[in-house]
Structure 1
């Protein structure tokens, strides 16, 4: 829990400090363009097709029943898939970005096309490194060193952010910002890897034990798990792209700033879920359904408490915080803010149910619903943003979160009943 608290402090610190610093250095227009550009390659984080998290579940299951060799084979197969899959998709992706210049229709106008292509390429490298550090974190979980792995994983983010912000403070633009961040990510990832080897050298990068057959077995549950990060990206980055195309980059910047603030509530409950997730998997693998039920019920109680206090606190003091956080000239739209906050609270309440389903690899149907509702919400948002402006995106997000809340708890209830 303490390691994950540290991780969320890092996330909040990075998000809350980055926005005012970048707006101050670049202006709201260029900041909005950065938000749009960073939204494009964010979809590549799903280029492992969800196999990463499912592989982690299976590795923990193998270690729980004493099959260490089986866990190593899954780990090395994951490394191979990450390397080949992410690189091949990245090559195709950057070719599309360069040839069709899709960023121009999304509101990016002040940055030269060749620089945009280079920025996207560098962000792709950052994503590939992130996928590998996720694989290392799975190994730490298998060795029951989740706290240490989480600490190192989040420290990488803090280090790369620190280097990125230092580039802005010395006058660098968007290109320098992402380049400095990649240097930080690279150094941190290597440190995390060598620290892992000091605990167990079997988790070295050795693709000789990788297996295509293992990857094939992980594809179906992995693809359905991918529905969650893909759906989240559609809801977050997709909304940004729509607002940028319809309203402009300044509107995208305002939306992103307010959305970042309200998502602090979601990140709070994520602390609980990240700690409970591997323990839910272990309890299920051992058949300890009593402990599994206890963990699940306590996660629900904690989610309700955090949603209530977090939502109320932001509702009362959110505007004052934004004025202090960015500056008095920032266009604070209270209607957009309060609707986004409501959607965040609903998301917090839904998390315990869908995390239970994913931790037990019982998420197939929910994944399909999640992806379907996110795409539907994005389609609706395009229409609503045209009618109501930025607040139209908030309406669509609320509808999505309420739908997921209802569906996830129905499925979780049926699952718990079957275990009894």
Structure 2
């Protein structure tokens, strides 16, 4: 319980960082750049999310395998998994960096027309994006080691502190140096490299076996990880469709100015979702340990309490934001952006619906038993994006918000049997299989 509480505290810090940085980013960029350029920047920083799929899901699977291997007393298996994934990420990083620079050179005219970055600046910008993306992969791999020694909270703390540092760097770049896109992307890459260095130094102090090396590299280990990795990859693809995909849809269909409005409303409406994450994400390491013990009773109790707390927090916050939304936006954006219904109502409803199924999803993703869920998640997010695009003629700009809500409802409907099984038995569906 102490580890869970520390994890909730670390995630609370993370949500504070997310809320503060997102709330401050909107007025900061709107004042400095205006809606048009700010909307373009939002579209630019959507690119790293898609490039982050280049690890094919191996990093997330490795985190779970390392955690469960140490819990089972098998340090050798953890070393093999860690070093095999490390070699894979080094290879991916080299390829991604090269391809990014080639893309910057090949599509220089298009990038210049979109962002104003010309010639070598476009190449450097793409390289900075690649460094930023690969840095996160290395930082995430270290989480498996932190989790395995009971330091989940510390891993999350480092990640969130550097997210805050990223925001400070961006704010300085805009306010102090009047920087353009290349400067801001370079600052993001530098901060991400610092994160990798700091987490590595701390990680090897906690677990000496986790030093970088290649002697334990195993192709057989990577082959064994392949199927769950590909399945796990469906989640970032789904997230990209839901988050960045909706932003790009809003921008290309309704224009960059609408992107600024939609992003602001979604930022505000996702606060209930982020509160639910405080609880569910903190359970991931504990779920892995209990699953290894096949402790169905403890898993059932954990699931019930987490579900109740997540829904309660999200619901109460959603009601408050519905009532106070216009007042908050008046203070937040100085009257430049105000909630429009039903757009805002649908976004709030989507955040509350998410709290109903997300805890069940953590039960399977924490144990690498996520193959079926991955298909549901990917299909629902693709369907939601299609609804947003196709609904433009019927619903106008509100179609984007309706697509967000439709995504959450589709996932909830598909997961109802799994949710019922966890509530009754603890080990349900695929988790009940040996």
Match 2:49 to one of 12, 17, 42 = 42
Match 1:121 to one of 119, 127, 132 = 127
Q: TM-score, normalising length from structure 1?
A: 0.93
| SS at 1:349 equivalent | helix
Corresponding position: 1:300 with 2:310: no
Match of 1:365 in 2: 372
Q: Which aligned runs of 4 or more in structure 1 are off by greater than 6 angstroms? A: 101-104
Query: 1:276 deviation in Å?
Result: 0.5
Query: 1:182 deviation in Å?
Result: 2.0
Distance in 1, Cα, partners of 2:395 & 2:99: 36
Q: 1:413 to 1:335 in 2, by over 3 A?
A: closer
Corresponding position: 1:146 with 2:152: yes
Q: 1:46 to 1:182 in 2, by over 3 A?
A: same
Distance in 1, Cα, partners of 2:356 & 2:325: 20
| SS at 2:56 equivalent | coil
Q: 1:118 to 1:385 in 2, by over 3 A?
A: farther
Gaps of 5+ in 2: 1-7
- Alignment of structure 1 residues 8-87 onto 2, 5 Å: 8-87=15-94
Distance in 1, Cα, partners of 2:359 & 2:90: 32
Corresponding position: 1:182 with 2:213: no
Distance in 1, Cα, partners of 2:382 & 2:270: 20
Match of 1:133 in 2: 139
The total of aligned residue pairs comes to 418
Corresponding position: 1:172 with 2:186: no
| SS at 1:395 equivalent | helix
Q: 1:64 to 1:346 in 2, by over 3 A?
A: same
Distance in 2, Cα, partners of 1:89 & 1:177: 20
Q: 1:160 to 1:25 in 2, by over 3 A?
A: same
> RMSD of the alignment, in Å?
2.2
Distance in 2, Cα, partners of 1:368 & 1:103: 34
1:22-77, Cα deviation, whole Å (9 max, x unpaired)? 11111111000001111122112222212222211111111111111211211122
Q: TM-score, normalising length from structure 2?
A: 0.90
Q: 1:39 to 1:108 in 2, by over 3 A?
A: farther
Query: 1:87 deviation in Å?
Result: 3.9
| SS at 1:360 equivalent | coil
Query: 1:352 deviation in Å?
Result: 0.9
8 A contact 2:272–2:315 mirrored in 1: no
Corresponding position: 1:320 with 2:327: yes
Distance in 1, Cα, partners of 2:214 & 2:108: 37
8 A contact 2:103–2:126 mirrored in 1: no
Match of 2:255 in 1: 248
Distance in 2, Cα, partners of 1:338 & 1:86: 41
